[in-house]
Amino acid sequence: MKKHNFSAGPSILAKEVIENTARAVLDLNGIGLSVMEISHRGKDFQAVIDETVELFRELLDIPSNYHVLFLGGGASLQFCMVPFNLMNKKAAYLETGSWAKKAIKEAKGFGEVDVVASSADKNFNYIPKGFTIPQDADYFHITTNNTIFGTEILEDYDSPVPLVADMSSDMFSRPVDVSKYAIIYGGAQKNLGPAGVTFVIIRDDILGKVDRHIPTMLDYRTHIENGSMFNTPPCLPIYTCLETLRWLKKLGGVEVMQKMNKEKADLLYKEIERNSLFRTTAEKDSRSLMNICFVMEEAYQDLEKDFLTFATSKGMTGIKGHRSVGGFRASVYNAMPKESVVALIDTMQEFEKANAR
């Protein structure tokens, strides 16, 4: 039976990306050695890093005054590195979900945190609007996509202070005006590659403005000066990112991917709205194109486990909602084919015919 992988992360990768990575694990470019066993400072892996950076720049149209880094520690380490490097006295944060809350918690260890707006009052089912960004903040931090609650910021904010964004779960899903951001960071394990590598896009004038001592490994300048190779980088995950970017370029880039992602999300949201058994949890104007969260209608909540069992029998994997919110979550990242979304819709319709009361 074909498996349809709706996992929120680590998530689906394109078939050819997995196959090409598997070949490189056995033999990188015919050199007779695995990508896992060559020196990260040798010419063969330097070529991997160089092409990965080049494709980042090309696909996102990154200006020349930005650096692209590949680090360890996940986006969670960036929750600490951002304030360590940028905060003198005060930072502003938008609270839109669990990951934003964790970023706020870390920042409070470095100075004052102004939460300019929060959607906690409605269990994070919307993106706040009409907030004011304090002009005396050292930076303003946002989380663009909220995997647990299924909301997404689909615009590039104009900010009077340096804008920092956690784009772990929607990077490369749509065009981004990088010039509006001071830092963009994210874990790779949603739209880019396997777990183990974190990307950071950073403007070169944003650093060196804090008085505190920054430990060597937590100082962005260390990694800029050493081309992401101050220590041994996560070589295999970086190689998989390269294969993903090659695949994305071949498809036509982020503009084409945005159209494909919108088509998939629109299909599934339309079915959820039509189906008498289900309803979405996010407000309509805040819905994520990456993580589509839904629950059983109140009259059918007793069928939640039954639907999960039925969907699993039809090859759907990873659709159980996050343990903190329950329900269901269909993560339709870049590599998710439209046919899998259609298969989930067929499953929902079949379940409705058998169980509608």
pTM of the model: 0.97
The pairing of beta strand 145-146 with beta strand 163-166: unpaired
Amino acid at 127: I
Q: One-letter amino acid identity for 283?
A: E
Q: Measured between alpha carbons, how far is 93 from 283 in angstroms, rounded to an integer?
A: 21
pLDDT value of position 353:
97
Helix (H), strand (E) at residue 244? helix 235-251
Whose CA is closest to 336, among 263, 271, 287?
A: 263
DSSP 8-class letter at 49: H
pLDDT of res. 325: 84
- pLDDT at residue 215, rounded to an integer: 97
Q: What share of the chain is helix, strand, coil (3-state, %, to 5)?
A: 40, 15, 45
* Residue 35 near residue 235, CB atoms below 8 Å: yes
Which residues face 151 on adjacent strands? 146, 287
H or E element, residue 50: helix 43-60
Q: Per-residue DSSP letters for 111-152?
A: SEEEEEEE-GGGTT-S---S----TT-S-EEEESEETTTTEE
Question: For the chain, where are the E strands, in sequence order?
Answer: 4-5, 66-71, 90-95, 112-118, 140-143, 145-146, 151-152, 163-166, 183-187, 198-203, 278-280, 291-296, 316-317, 328-331
Q: Tell me whether residue 270 is one of the annotated catalytic residues.
A: no
Between helices 74-86 and 98-107, what is the axis angle to 10°? 40
- For residue 157, give the DSSP letter: -
What's the rounded Cα separation, in Å, for the pair 178 and 193?
21
What's the order of all strands across the beta sheet hosting 90-95? 66-71, 198-203, 183-187, 163-166, 140-143, 90-95, 112-118
What integer pLDDT is reported at residue 1 of this predicted model? Answer: 81
The conformational region for residue 12 under phi > 0 = left, psi -120 to 50 = alpha, else beta, is beta
Bond from prior residue into 175 cis (ω within 30 degrees of 0): no
Predicted pLDDT of residue 209: 93
Domains of the chain by range and CATH?
Answer: 15-251 (3.40.640.10), 253-355 (3.90.1150.10)
pLDDT averaged over 10-residue windows placed end to end, the chain, 357 residues: 93 97 98 97 96 98 98 97 98 98 98 98 97 98 97 98 98 98 97 97 96 96 97 97 98 98 98 97 97 96 96 97 90 98 98 94
- Burial of residue 155, with CB atoms counted within 10 A of its CB: 0-12 exposed, 13-18 middle, 19 or more buried: exposed
Catalytic-labelled residue, pool 138, 170, 190, 320: 190
Q: In what order do the strands lie in the sheet with 278-280?
A: 278-280, 291-296, 328-331
- Structure-block tokens of residue 357: 């009361």
What is the C-alpha separation between 153 and 157, in angstroms, rounded?
9
- In DSSP terms, 68 is beta-bridged to 201
Question: Helix, strand, or coil here: 338?
Answer: helix
Active-site position among 99, 170, 219, 320? 99
Q: How many helices, marked H, and strands, marked E, lie in the chain?
A: 9, 14
Distances (CA, A) of 43 to 46, 48, 227: 5, 9, 14
Residue 211 falls in the annotated catalytic set? no
d(CA 291, CA 279): 14
The catalytic residue among 129, 138, 156, 166 is: 166
Length of the chain: 357
